[in-house]
């Protein structure tokens, strides 16, 4: 037939498009939302978004929508990401960080990592930079559908999520409080240990100094005893010499009195007087020599007295020094009593440290209990998640069956549509042929009519 080539062309043009439509992933088809619903959900959050924006995406608008989703789901903004990324760049490149990496580049990298982590939780495992800079309609439909489904699931499970989140926050806050309290107790313990070492060192220094002062005091006491004995001996000698000097003086006075008494007898017998004069001269010479000797002895005694005076002043200074030493010893004893009080305080501090360690062990036990409870809650959450996953698998199996049924019905509808198109094309070809035949018949009729009219005219003319 003449129509077969045209029918074959229509069939070959429909087959590739049919194969492209049927080659869709089942999970994506299950999670994918209609374009109108996606645009409506994004518009509901306060961002002007239309179907045209979804079908012809704009990178700036797409990035703004992603930033809003990141702020909504993870509380992450540019102000949160910027300090951490700046610190990382400065850690890597130092002062050249701003020259190598601009602020926009750092914030974009941090935003990309945050969005990638978020989309991994939502189920998108192939998120790339091209989705930010060159977004396409199929990719945006897929990503937005997964995010919207995740938000809906999160809103449906808000009570469970809030319960686990509040429990984890309470546990986290308790752990932080216990950690800070432990740090404060450790710092206090270190400070007390340092004070204890300082006090022990000061006590050792005081004891060493006290021992040295005691030794010095004993030496000074012995020296004082020796000087006192020597002073007593010198004082006894001085008293004895004074008594001897007084006795000699009395003797001289008595001799003079006797000489005065004997003076009248000098006029009697010159020989006797001469003899008595010689005797008196010899006795006078003896007395003078004795007086000289006594004067020398008195001068020696005066020198000894001066020496003793100096010794007395030295002894006075030594006694003052001994009094000062006694005062120092009293101060040392007071410091020793203070050190004993410090030891008692240190003992009390050690007891308080042991009490703190005991409390720390109790708090660690409580922390372990909270951790076990948290682990139990996590296991319960995992069990619930597994149950939800099993339900999701059941729903996916139902969805696969429905998808297979829909695909079969679609194939049947497509076959019928192809048949209808083929019949319509046949009818169109037949209509075209009939119209052509009618046109040719009309032309033949017109020709025949003209021939007949011409023949009738010629007949009339001949008649």
Q: What is the mean pLDDT of residues 294-298?
A: 79
399 contacts 26 by C-beta, under 8 angstroms = yes
Tell me the per-residue pLDDT of 86-133, one tens digit each, with 9 for 90 and over.
Answer: 777 777 767 666 667 677 777 777 777 888 888 888 888 888 878 877
353 contacts 220 by C-beta, under 8 angstroms = no
Q: Would you state the pLDDT for residue 272?
A: 67
Tell me the per-residue pLDDT of 386-418, one tens digit each, with 9 for 90 and over.
Answer: 887 888 888 888 888 888 888 888 888 888 888
pLDDT > 70? residue 76: yes
83 contacts 58 by C-beta, under 8 angstroms = no
Q: Would you state the pLDDT for residue 12?
A: 41
Q: Would you state the pLDDT for residue 173?
A: 83
Q: Would you state the pLDDT for residue 14?
A: 43
Please state whether the predicted TM-score (pTM) of the whole model is above 0.75: no
Q: What is the mean pLDDT of residues 353-359?
A: 82
Strands (E), 85-169: none
What is 26-183's CATH superfamily?
Ncd80 complex, Nuf2 subunit (1.10.418.60)
Domain parsing of the chain, residue ranges = 26-183
Distance from chain centroid for Cα 108: 27
Percent of the residues in the chain that have a pLDDT greater than 90, as a whole number: 0
153 contacts 145 by C-beta, under 8 angstroms = no
Tokens representing residue 320 in the block:
């003052």
State the CB neighbour count (10 A cutoff) for residue 144: 24
**Residues 6 or more apart in contact with residue 98 via CB below 8 angstroms:** 89
Q: What is the C-alpha separation between 241 and 239, in angstroms, rounded? A: 5
Higher pLDDT: 11 or 77? It is: 77
């Amino acid at each position: 037939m003449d129509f077969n080539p045209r029918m074959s062309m229509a069939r070959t043009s429909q087959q590739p498009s049919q194969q492209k439509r049927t080659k869709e992933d089942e999970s994506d088809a299950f999670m994918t939302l209609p374009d109108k619903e996606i645009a409506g959900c994004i518009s509901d959050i306060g961002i002007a978004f239309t179907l045209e924006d979804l079908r012809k995406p704009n990178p700036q608008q797409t990035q703004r929508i992603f930033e809003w989703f990141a702020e909504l789901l993870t509380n992450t903004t540019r102000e949160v990401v910027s300090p951490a990324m700046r610190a990382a760049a400065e850690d890597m490149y130092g002062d050249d960080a701003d020259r190598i990496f601009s602020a926009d580049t750092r914030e974009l990298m941090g935003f990309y990592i945050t969005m990638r982590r978020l989309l991994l939780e939502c189920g998108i495992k192939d998120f790339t930079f091209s989705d930010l800079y060159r977004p396409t309609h199929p990719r945006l439909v897929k990503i937005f559908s997964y995010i919207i489904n995740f938000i809906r699931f999160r809103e449906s499970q808000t009570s469970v999520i809030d319960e686990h989140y509040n429990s984890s926050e309470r546990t986290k806050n308790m752990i932080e409080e216990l950690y800070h309290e432990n740090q404060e107790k450790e710092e206090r313990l270190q400070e007390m240990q340092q004070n204890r070492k300082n006090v022990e060192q000061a006590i050792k220094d005081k004891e060493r100094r006290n021992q040295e002062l005691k030794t010095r005091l004993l030496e000074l006491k012995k020296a004082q005893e020796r000087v006192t004995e020597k002073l007593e001996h010198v004082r006894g000698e001085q008293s004895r010499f004074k008594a001897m000097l007084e006795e000699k003086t009395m003797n001289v006075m008595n001799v003079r009195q006797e000489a005065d008494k004997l003076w009248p007898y000098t006029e009697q017998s010159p020989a006797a007087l001469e003899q008595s004069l010689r005797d008196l001269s010899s006795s006078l010479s003896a007395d003078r020599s004795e007086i000289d000797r006594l004067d020398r002895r008195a001068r020696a005694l005066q020198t000894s007295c001066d020496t003793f005076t100096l010794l007395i002043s030295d002894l006075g200074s030594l006694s003052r020094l001994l009094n000062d030493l006694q005062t120092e010893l009293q101060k040392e004893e007071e410091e020793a009593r203070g050190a004993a009080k410090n030891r008692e305080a240190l003992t009390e501090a050690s007891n308080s440290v042991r009490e703190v360690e005991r409390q720390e062990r109790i708090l660690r036990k409580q922390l372990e209990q909270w951790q076990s409870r948290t682990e139990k809650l996590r296991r319960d959450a995992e069990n619930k998640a597994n149950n939800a996953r099993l339900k999701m698998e059941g729903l996916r199996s139902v969805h696969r069956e429905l998808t297979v049924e829909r695909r079969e019905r679609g194939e049947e509808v497509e076959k019928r549509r192809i048949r209808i198109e083929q019949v319509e094309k046949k009818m169109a070809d037949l209509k075209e042929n009939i119209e052509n035949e009618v046109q040719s018949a009309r032309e033949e009729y017109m020709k025949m009519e003209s021939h007949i009219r011409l023949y009738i005219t010629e007949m009339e003319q001949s008649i």
